[in-house]
Amino acid sequence: TLQAALSLQASPDFSLTLGAASSSFRQRWELTPAAGSADIDAADYAAGLFKNLQYLFAANYRFHPEWNSYLVFKTQQSNVILTDDEKRPGLIVSTFPDANASYFGHIGYGVRTALWPQLFLSLEMRHQFLEISDTTAAAVYSGVDEAHLWNNELIAGIKYRPAPALTLGLLYARYLKYDNTLNIRYLDGEINGVPQVAFARLDKPQAIVLSGEYRFSALRFRGSYQLSQIKYGNSGETLLEDRIGLLTVEIGYDFH
C-alpha cells in the first residue's frame, strides 16, 4: 500500500489531514486436476498501484491537556478489476471468467489520553462499509449481485515512549459485528457441477498489532506486525482457521 497525506495545523488544539492511498493486490489460484486430467497452471490475478485510489480525511482535536479526540474517514473502492498476468488453459478461463477486489471504506473515531508523560492509552470504534452492485465475479459464483456490508470493530491500544525519538505500541482489535458475504457465500452452491459447502463464521475476527517508531530529525521510520485470526465451520464444527501475519514498514517525512 502506498499512502500520501498532508496535515494542516489549524490551531494549537486542532489539525486536519487529507490524503490518498493505493494498494497493489495479487492473488494466486492453484488448482489440483482430477485424476487422469492434465496439469493446470496457476493463475495470478493482480491490480497495480494508482488504479484503486482511496481518499482519507482526518480531524484531531485536543479538548483537554491530557485528552485528544479524532475522526477518520476513508472512501471505499469497489469492483477493482484484477488483470490476469499469465496464460491459462481453458478450464481456468471457464471457471474464473472474471476476478475483482473491493476495499472497505472506514469511519473511525476515538480518544487518547496520557497516563504519564511516556505512557498513552487509546480507544477507538471503527466502522467498515462496502456498498456494491453488479458484482461481476461474485455473481458468477453465488448469484450475489449486490452487497451492503457494515462492520463494527473495537480497538484498544497502549503506547510507551522510552526515549524522545522512540515509541513502542501494542493494539488489540476485535469485531463486534462482522460480515464478509462476498468472500463466503460463493462456497454455497455448485462450481462446474461440483457441490460446495457453505462455511458459517464461528467467531468474531480479532487481531494483535505490535509496532515501533523511530524519529531522526524530520524522518520517521515505522514498522508493525499484525497477527489476526478467524474461524469458519459447518454445523458447529471448525473446518477452517484463517491466521494471517502482516508485516508493514513505513518511512515518513515531516515538512515544517
pTM of this structure: 0.68
Q: How many domains does the chain have?
A: 1
Residue 71 belongs to a domain: no
pLDDT in tens, 192-202: 554 555 555 55
pLDDT at 34 (0 to 100): 60
pLDDT at 113 (0 to 100): 94
Residue 59 belongs to a domain: no
Q: What count of other Cβ atoms lies within 10 Å of the Cβ of residue 219? A: 11
Residue 16 belongs to a domain: no
C-alpha cell at 68: 485528544
pLDDT at 119 (0 to 100): 95
Picking from 81, 80, 85, 77, the residue whose alpha carbon sits closest to that of residue 28 is 85
Residue 235 belongs to a domain: yes
Please tell me the distance from the alpha carbon of residue 152 to that of residue 198, in angstroms, as a whole number.
Answer: 23
pLDDT at 94 (0 to 100): 36
pLDDT in tens, 202-225: 567 889 999 999 999 889 999 999
The range of the structural domain enclosing residue 237 comes to: 104-253
Residue 47 belongs to a domain: no
Q: Is 228 exposed, middle or buried (0-12, 13-18, 19+ CB in 10 A)?
A: middle
pLDDT at 161 (0 to 100): 95
Q: What count of other Cβ atoms lies within 10 Å of the Cβ of residue 175? A: 19
Residue 130 belongs to a domain: yes
For the chain, the first-to-last Cα distance in angstroms comes to 25
pLDDT at 93 (0 to 100): 39
pLDDT at 253 (0 to 100): 80
C-alpha cell at 6: 498532508
Residue 247 belongs to a domain: yes
C-alpha cell at 83: 488483470
Question: What is the per-residue DSSP string for 170-225?
Answer: EEEEEEEE---HHHHGGGSEEETTEEE-PPEE-S--EEEEEEEEEEETTEEEEEEE
Residues of the chain short of pLDDT 70, as ranges, are 25-45, 78-101, 133-147, 180-203, 232-241, 256
pLDDT at 115 (0 to 100): 87
